[in-house]
Every structure is written in C-alpha cells, then in structure tokens.
A and B are shown apart, each in its own frame.
Chain A
C-alpha cells in the first residue's frame, strides 16, 4: 500500500515546522501503528480495482437506503449521497477509555451547570463564570428558570466534537447539547462497512454500536413521569425537507416509535396528543429534532409552523417531557466553552480529563489585541454560528479576508472567540483510487438520563479537500466508519 504522510507545506512559514499532524495509522517514522496493522495488510492485499469496487458497493448501499440530501437546481433537483470513505478508522481500547471517562465527566458537569443556572445560579454568584456571559447568551432561555427536569438531565443526547492534537492527545473542540445530529451516519457507516469488509468484523474485536437506538429509547423513557406506566415516546421532525430527515426517520424506525411533525400534535388542557386514525392519543416524551426557537410558537418564535402551540406550557406543567430540554444551548455556547474546565472543577472537584483547546475571548480587550495581532495563525469563530459558517481559518485566508474579519472583530468583539489553528490528525482515505491522508475529527455520542452512557463508536468526519481542516458536511466534508477496539482483545485486529 502506498501511503505517504501529509506534508504541512500548505501552512505558511514558521508554523509549518512546529505542527506536523498526528497520523492515525502511521507513526512519524513511517511504521504502521499496531492497531492498524491488520487493516493495512488487508488493504495492501487488495488490487486498486477491488478497492474501487468496494467503494461503489458502499455508495450504492447509501443510495438505496435513501441516505441522501437533495440539491435543488433551477429546473430539477437531484439527490446526492453524503461522501463516505471506505477505510475504517480504528481507535485502540486504552485511548477510548480516556475518551469515555472524559466525556462522562464533561456531560455530568454540564448538566449540573444547566441545573444550576436555571435555578439558584450559584456558579454565577461565586463569579466562576461571568454572569453576563450566561444570561446574555442568545441560547439562554429565561422560560426554563425553575422548571423541573427529571434527573436534572437537560442534555439527554450530546455529540461532542473531539480532535486529536499533533502530540496524539484528544481535546474537545466543541460540545453539542442542542440537537446534535450524525448518529445515523455512525450506524449506517457501520452497517455499510460490514458489507464492504465482511471479514473485518468477525475477529476484529470491534465493539458493537448497534444498541444505540435501544439505549436512546430507554434514556427517553426514563425521562417520563413515574406514574405513567407505558410512556409514549415520539420523535419530532421539522419534516421531509430537513437535511437530517433521514436520521429522524431512521431513529424512529429503529426505536419503533412514531415520527411526528408539529401538525400531528395538538395540546389540550396542558396535555399533548397526537392525531391517530382512531382519535387522539397522549404523548409523554418528545425527542425533538427541532431547534428551541421553533418548538412552540406561543413561547418562542411566533412565526414558527414547525412546532406545537402550547407545548411549552404542557412541559412546564409536567405533562410532557421535551428532550433535549430547551435552553441547553447555553452550555455549548462558544464563549461559555472557554470556562468548561472551571465548570468541571467547580461541580465535581476534578480536573478535566479531556482538555479544551486554548481559547481567546475577544470580549476581553487584552485577548482581543492578541487575536488581532496573530490573525494569520488563529481560527476565529462567531459565537452564535455553527456548521463551519462565519469562521476564519487564519493560515488559509488571504490578507484581504483577514482584514475584513479584523474590522468585524473590532466592531463586535463579544461575538467572537479565537483558537490556535490545530492540525487535526490525519487518517488514510481512499481518494480518486489512491490512499491519501485527510484531516479527521471525532464525534462520539453520549446519552444521559438516570445515568450517562457513551456509545463505543463515533462519527469520524473527514475533510475531503486536501489540506482542508474543515470537516462540516456543508463545507465539503465526508465521514467514515469508526471502530473502537474492545478491552483485552488483541490490538492486532483483523480487519
């Protein structure tokens, strides 16, 4: 197998030498890491045509399943599959143990943080997190104040984005506590990988992720009130035109619960019902895949037609549970992110197991001037934006782009944070028939209700453009299967 480590030549000057990305498969001397050895051998034994054939098989699987998004053209619309890479990514058991412990600790602390700021606000009184940062965040929901949330589990489903730094350690790039998506791709990638590399899963000792829908259902059911013996769970989707619709239908199907739209639900006497063929039927738990703003036009955005009028009052009355709770976004706000290590030590008295990326808050004048002076080496992000929009990757930007961003920064510093440009780790990918390194991140999924569970697998997102560090699917990103090896199994997994 021909595979050369990536050359960070696209970086400007002084930074290039300092940051050689970590490669998931090869160590810096060009040796294949032990947990990748079997995969490397298997791939080396396949001819180029075999690889191409398997790639076609993979793409056909996604097309047939309807795992597509629609590109709307002037005359007609076509459906495309999300680019998916053939070669799985492998994570050894010891590394996963750290990730699992770190994510569990982090979500526990963030749920405690949410429970606190929506009740007594001790952490604000103690001055650990600046009051105006929390209460002024657009994702803070005053309506959630003093509202009872079972198990104090505000974020039942969390998808945190991790990256691997050049030194090999994992760090959290951002948390995602609102309506994290991508879990269906994790599951579909695995299903496809089992078809394309059928030998791989027999002996590999890759841990199973297929229980995710069952665990999600039991998480959601445990949020229902104790006196409702057989709680009715539903998945609330914005509808078929939403880009994540496949995922909504996929989860509903695998959990065996109805997939509802806002127009299927009605509230009456602070209870929520769905319209069935035989009349109205009570709903207990709503796994909503609709943003806070659109959940209830009476409480949040008035012009929303995706939600259910009166839903929030029913929630407040304790007759229905909304998962994730509205207002969880304040804990994954890009500025609050900078304080997560302090939040962990405040509530748990522990050091963070998974570190943050160093973050400059442009709201602080001293940090702003540092950011402005080093725009060519930093990544600057708008606090409210997501999906890879509204951000500047300093080393890749032109002088003009940097100047335009500097003006925006000076005009509205509270709206921005900056982080050093991290060389995400690279993993081997099949690109145009050749195996080439591409930058990847890692999004594991964490469930939380009466207990916290991390699914032993993840969505690995891939920046398919050479040298690109942006993995978002809206910006030319793809994904690949991610296998976590089991404890005690041979690290020499047979792929």
Chain B
C-alpha cells in the first residue's frame, strides 16, 4: 500500500536520476570531442546535439557551450543540475519513504552540484566533475538497492529509471543511425563515442571484440539480452516492474499499461535482429519511443490520477 502521490514522486526520482547520469555521459563525450579537430569530432558533436535537441537545433552551439548547457543550465529542464534538483525535490516530498542512506547520497550530490564551487569545479576540470557525479549516482542506486525494500515503492522507482533509459537510448539510436536526422555515423571515433554515451563500450568489446561496425552497434544497443542499457533489457524490466506494482490493482482484464508493456517487451524479444533492415530498425526504435510515452501516461492514469468514482468502497 502506498500513497498515489508518493508513487508518482518515486517514479520521477527514477526518471531524473537516470536522465542526470545520461546527460553527464553526453557532456563528457562532447568535451572529449573538442580535444581533436577532426572530421569525426564534428560528427560526434552533431550527433550529441541532435540527440538532446531532437534535431531542432535552431541556434548552433559550440561543443563546449553545449556541454556547459547540458551540465549546468538551470533554464534547461534536462540539464544535469536541473534534473538533480528535481530528483532531490521529489525525494524531499517523499522523504519518509526513502531510507536515510539513500536520501543522504542524493542530498550530497545535490548540495555539490548546486553549491557555490560547482561552476568553478566544472570549468577547472569538467571531466572529473562529471565523472564524480556519475560515480555518486551509482552510489545512490547502490544504496537504494541495498537498503530499500524491494516492494511497491522500489517498483515505481525502477519503472522511472527504465522508461527514461529506454527513451534516452532510443533517441541516441535515432541520432546515430536515423535516416531522417543528419548523416549516420560512419567514423570510427564517432562510433566509439556512441558506445561511450550508452556506457556500452566495454561490454560491446567483450561481446564483439574490437570489430566496431554500425550494424553490430545497433544490434547491441537494441537487442542484447544482458546489457542493462539495451532496449530489450529495459523493456523487459519495465514489464517486470509494472506487473509487480499492478498486482493489487483491478485493471479489468489485463487492460491498461501492463498490456502495453507486455507487447513492447515481446516486440523486442521476438524480433529477428539479423533480418532487420535499416528502415525497419528505425521504425522499431520509433515504436519504442511512442510506446514508452504511452506507458508513461498509462502509469499516471492507472496509479496516480485515477478517477475516484471507480474506486469508492462499495
């Protein structure tokens, strides 16, 4: 049993924390790309910027400015600082539901990125700054995993994490390989950058060795069974957590978000990666993004903002 408002806040903590971590990685790769002036660094910058702007890049930013904006811009709701501030604000509202260990981790990150020294730390050693945030976010996730009950609240937190993750990786795939946006990546440096942004470089190398090819990257990020950021892995977790939090809700015969999640999971589980052409892959990624948006709305309607008339005691 859990308050609807609390479930909503936990879900958003999951989303914002995942977003902050992802944006840190994007900013770090961007900053790396500024170090060498080659054709491929331009490709990397284009790809990142199109991933964060959904391709609507009206006023072109330099890679450094873009990295600064992704990290520190408080106006930009997707920036690392803004996401962390929102995660922490949500955590404050459900402070009673988080263990002290979990709360302390998040509060600590928040105090650092919003502190007076943050801007200076970033311009002095941006990579170190971003690396520390990612490490601290891993501590947060570890503390949550190790100290929170893996019950309903945990389920909502994880739902937020994996829906956000599936969307972020989906957008990255669109930016890297999508035909509608810019030019697909071909350069070796750009491909490794893409793997770095998905935190996938090392797992990829272990699976496919240093044979870096666009089609293998795409397959890995979409269909790998064990890699925790692949679309297949994320959608399987979404389905799993949704069926566990939905266990006690009478949804009237398997309707609602559970069905969406099950169908989405099956699509990725039973797709044939070898047979999938470029266009079909694009379409599948687009479907994942659409379905995640519907799941997001469905979770809200089912667990948080349900109509009272349906649930009044008899």
Contacts and interface: CB of A to CB of B under 8 A. Distances in A.
A275 B309 CA distance: 12
Interface residues of A, number: 31
A64 interface: yes
B128 interface: no
A266 B312 CA distance: 10
Given A64-B104, A64-B107, A276 B2 contact: yes
B287 interface: no
Interface string B1-19: 1111111000000000000
Interface in B292-314: 303-304, 306, 308, 311-313
A417 interface: no
Given A66-B92, A278-B249, A268 B313 contact: yes
Interface string A244-281: 01100110110000111101101010010111111111
Interface in B90-121: 92-97, 100, 103-104, 107-108, 111
A63 interface: yes
B187 interface: no
Contacts of A250: 95-96
Given A64-B108, A264-B4, A259 B96 contact: yes
A183 to B, nearest CB: 15
Contacts of B249: 277-279
B96 A275 contact: no
For chain B, what secondary structure do more than half of its interface residues adopt (helix, strand, loop), or is it mixed?
helix
Interface residues of B, number: 32
B245 interface: yes
A280 B111 contact: no
B210 to A, nearest CB: 44
A260 B92 contact: no
A250 to B, nearest CB: 8
Contacts of B2: 258, 276-277
Contacts of B111: 63
A246 to B, nearest CB: 8
A9 interface: no
B312 A280 contact: yes
**Most chain-A CB neighbours within 10 Å: which of B96, B152, B312?**
B96
A97 interface: no
B3 A66 contact: no
A63 B111 CA distance: 9
Contacts of B303: 277
Contacts of A275: 3-5, 308
Contact of A240 (B92, B103, B152, B248): B92
Given A63-B111, A64-B108, A65-B104, A280 B313 contact: yes
Given A64-B108, A277-B152, A277-B245, A253 B4 contact: no
Contacts of A253: 95-97
B96 A263 contact: no
Given A253-B95, A253-B96, A279-B249, A274 B312 contact: no
A130 B100 CA distance: 51
15 contacts: A66-B92, A66-B103, A249-B95, A252-B96, A261-B5, A264-B3, A271-B313, A275-B3, A275-B5, A277-B4, A277-B156, A277-B304, A279-B249, A279-B311, A280-B311
Given A249-B96, A266-B308, 17 more contacts: A65-B100, A66-B95, A66-B103, A66-B107, A240-B92, A250-B96, A252-B96, A253-B96, A264-B3, A271-B313, A275-B308, A276-B1, A276-B4, A277-B2, A277-B7, A279-B306, A280-B312
The list of the 5 closest CB pairs from A to B, nearest first, reads A249-B95, A253-B96, A279-B311, A252-B96, A277-B303
Interface of A: 63-66, 239-240, 245-246, 249-250, 252-253, 258-261, 263-264, 266, 268, 271, 273-282
